[in-house]
Amino acid sequence: MSWSSASARFDETLLTNEDYEFNVRVRQHGGRVWLDPEIRSVYFARSSLRSLAHQYWRYGYWKARMLRRYPGTIRWRQALPPLFVVSLVGLLCLSPWFAFARLALAIEALLYLAALLVASLQIAFRHKDLSLLVGVPLAVIAMHFSWAGGFLWSLVRR
């Protein structure tokens, strides 16, 4: 790889997602990104739902900033939370006037909540901890909506 030492560094103007952006540049220059299964890391969970939501707001905000530079790098799993939130808000706005919007909103919300319930049941039983029946859905909702909110806010804010 024939990079100058400056171009082979993290972009410090991105406050989050700089590793992903760096990996994009490595691939664009013909390099490979290797993940070593021998590497171990320790994750420290956020101490509150609010701090988790703040973390994911930042992730979404800076993902959108990074995608302005590399729009072809978005993945469906990254696009789904903002699309989901936009659909909920759109259907909510239309629901006072259109029955189909009320029905679609109810179906979408119920499917989402059902998926959260099934996932949290599996996790709670696996860990033998009933508190996860509440904790997992709250954490997932905070992550999805905060990430989407940060992402969408970054798109409308220049």
pLDDT in tens, 7-48: 678 888 888 888 888 889 888 888 888 889 999 988 888 889
Contact 148, 60 (CB under 8 A): yes
| Confidence (pLDDT) at 3 | 56
- Cα 102 to Cα 42: distance, rounded to the nearest angstrom: 44
Q: pTM for this one?
A: 0.84
- pLDDT tops 60 at residue 157: yes
> 6 by DSSP, 3-state: which?
coil
> 2 by DSSP, 3-state: which?
coil
Contact 15, 65 (CB under 8 A): no
| Confidence (pLDDT) at 6 | 53
Residue 100, both tokens: 């189909």
Contact 151, 81 (CB under 8 A): yes
Stronger pLDDT, 9 or 144, i.e. the higher one: 144
| Confidence (pLDDT) at 30 | 87
